Amino acid sequence: MASSTQNTSVSKANLENLYHIVLTTSHIQKDPNSVIEKIRIAGTYRTPEAAKAAAHSCLFDAGYEREWFSQYEVDPAALESYRIHQRMGLVVFAVASDGTTFRISISTTPNISHLTTDNDDGRIATDLYYVVQTNVKYANGDEGQDRDVNIEGIFMTDDKARAFAHSVLLSKEDGITKESFAEYDEAGDNEGDCGFGENAVIHAVGINGENYLISVIKGQTSESIKLAEAAVRIS
């Protein structure tokens, strides 16, 4: 499985890691089994403290108010019970009155490109495209599903991110080809996705039934997320 981060700028300080805010939403009324989740990257930060502060304000920056949530959890001990669906660093778990579930997590990746910023809030200002891998394993009975979300690469352009996305599940060294999977679907050159969700350019099913989704997601500002969430609430 490949992983890469494109060189986007050179920093004066050699920062070891980047911290990404991952906002995941699932709409129970539209998807009773919570199979389809929408993933947004709400910013990349150069310190864990800045990322955690941004994660805690993410939903409010997106236009939500505390009283709109029937459940809003930020206590680390309480969050442990919600990690079954997404194992990366869960910071906020919230449920709106209509049943929509929000998970805000922090994903950590090496700062291979030495990205830096002069922003007071620690946010990387450069437009970034993220290659995101989602692994879904379905359990028996009432156990539901086990879902892992990982950022595999960061790029400055959509076309370079998409090119890398097509290589994530494959490996010449390990002999992993498209034929190694029970199913393998990919978006064509002129297609926005492969038919398995917004931004998903690759969908594959392993021989044991596990599902893989590779998506290319452009990072968003709080204002763009606010507009998108307002449109969802209106619909």
Give the start-end residues of each E strand in the chain. 4-5, 17-26, 38-45, 69-73, 89-96, 101-110, 129-138, 145-155, 183-186, 200-205, 211-218
What pLDDT, in 10s, does the model give residues 180-205? 999 999 998 888 889 888 899 999 99
Give the 3-state secondary structure of residue 224: helix
Residue 224 has pLDDT above 70, yes or no: yes
Taking the domains of the chain in order of start, what are their residue ranges? 4-234
Reported as a pLDDT band with limits 50, 70 and 90, residue 142 is very low
Collapsing DSSP to helix, strand or coil, 163 comes out as: helix
If you average pLDDT over residues 8-33, what whole number do you get?
66
C-alpha–C-alpha distance, residues 126 and 147, integer Å: 29
User: Which pLDDT belongs to residue 98?
Assistant: 86
What's the average model confidence in pLDDT over 171-184?
Answer: 96
Question: Which tens digits make up the pLDDT trace of 67-108?
Answer: 999 999 998 888 877 665 555 689 999 999 888 899 999 999
Averaged over 210-233, what is the pLDDT?
79
Tell me what the mean pLDDT of segment 217-229 comes to.
78
The DSSP output letter for 139 is P
Encoding tokens for residue 147?
A: 């879902």
- The predicted pLDDT at position 15 comes to 58
d(C-alpha 4, C-alpha 111), whole Å: 11
